[in-house]
């Protein structure tokens, strides 16, 4: 089963890129973040025409997440945490893998910048609530997959120049500790588990020639329960969509489990 996560930075603005990518990669499940549209304006028919069902938790102009699937999913939930600002940042579903029922959690973590504003406080509170609820989930279901845009640089190797980001909301130590706290609940960062020293990125800013210079960062992740790690066949970052015309500033991360 191929599960892919991609912050598309507006699903309607990138719809042709997304459809072309789906036709090339044929994911079973595609987790989308930053769709930037309300539920009623989401292009469900575009995805239906190529064989996919859409589950959407949208928001006007900002944020928003969705799950696109070849097969019907169960237990769709848009209220995983109580969001102080009522933003659309998490959608969950139940995914069946052979005899296992996997809790699939698609997230778009707040950016948090600038760090001296309420945006950073919101990110910290959001992460605290999220970790608390994931901990509760692990007590009921040991098979969990969290995927999405975490807006967290886990380690120095995960960004082109860590010194520039050590006091940024993506790279601050207290934020990276939150990421570690989440992993310590019984997860593996699948990409880093499979690639101990490889330096690849999932995001390149639109400015200052970041893509051309490879000034990127790895902030899109898959965290998989330890109980499922032996089911991982492969994980890779597909850079091709970032090189297309009118691209998202993120590129897909592709997980295959058996």
Instruction: Express each pLDDT in 152-195 by its tens digit.
Output: 999 999 999 999 999 999 999 999 999 999 999 999 999 999 99
User: What pLDDT score was predicted for residue 26?
Assistant: 97
Average pLDDT along the chain: 97
pLDDT at 98 > cutoff 90 = no
Active site residues: 108, 149
Distance CA 150, CA 127 (A): 10
Mean pLDDT across 67-73? 97
**pTM for the whole structure:** 0.97
Classify strands 253-257 and 232-237 as parallel, antiparallel or unpaired: antiparallel
- Does position 141 have pLDDT exceeding 90, yes or no? no
Q: What is the mean pLDDT of residues 102-128?
A: 98
Q: What is the pLDDT of residue 99?
A: 85
List CB contacts of 16: < 8 A, sequence separation 6 or more.
Answer: none
Set out the domains of the chain in order of their start, with CATH numbers: 2-257 (3.60.10.10)
Residue whose pair of structure tokens reads 């295959």 in the numeric block: 256
| Confidence category of residue 89, pLDDT binned at 50, 70, 90 | very high
């Amino acid at each position: 089963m191929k599960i892919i996560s991609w912050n598309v930075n507006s699903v309607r603005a990138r719809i042709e890129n997304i459809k072309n990518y789906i036709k090339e990669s044929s994911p079973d499940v595609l987790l989308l973040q930053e769709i930037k549209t309300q539920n009623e304006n989401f292009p469900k028919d575009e995805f239906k025409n190529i064989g996919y069902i859409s589950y959407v938790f949208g928001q006007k102009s900002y944020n928003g997440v969705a799950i696109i699937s070849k097969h019907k999913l169960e237990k769709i939930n848009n209220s995983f945490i109580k969001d102080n600002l009522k933003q659309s940042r998490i959608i969950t579903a139940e995914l069946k893998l052979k005899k296992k029922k996997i809790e699939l959690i698609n997230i778009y973590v707040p950016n948090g910048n600038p760090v001296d504003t309420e945006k950073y406080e919101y990110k910290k509170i959001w992460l605290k609530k999220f970790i608390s609820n994931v901990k509760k989930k692990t007590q009921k279901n040991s098979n969990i997959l969290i995927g999405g845009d975490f807006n967290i640089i886990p380690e120095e190797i995960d960004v082109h120049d860590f010194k520039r980001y050590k006091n940024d909301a993506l790279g601050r130590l207290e934020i990276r500790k939150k990421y570690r706290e989440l992993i310590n609940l019984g997860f593996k960062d699948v990409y880093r588990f499979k690639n101990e020293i490889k330096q690849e990125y999932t995001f390149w800013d639109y400015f200052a020639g970041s893509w051309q210079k490879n000034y990127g960062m790895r902030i899109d992740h898959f965290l998989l329960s330890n109980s499922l790690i032996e089911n991982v066949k492969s994980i890779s970052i597909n850079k091709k969509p970032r090189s297309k015309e009118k691209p998202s500033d993120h590129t897909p991360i592709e997980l295959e489990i058996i």
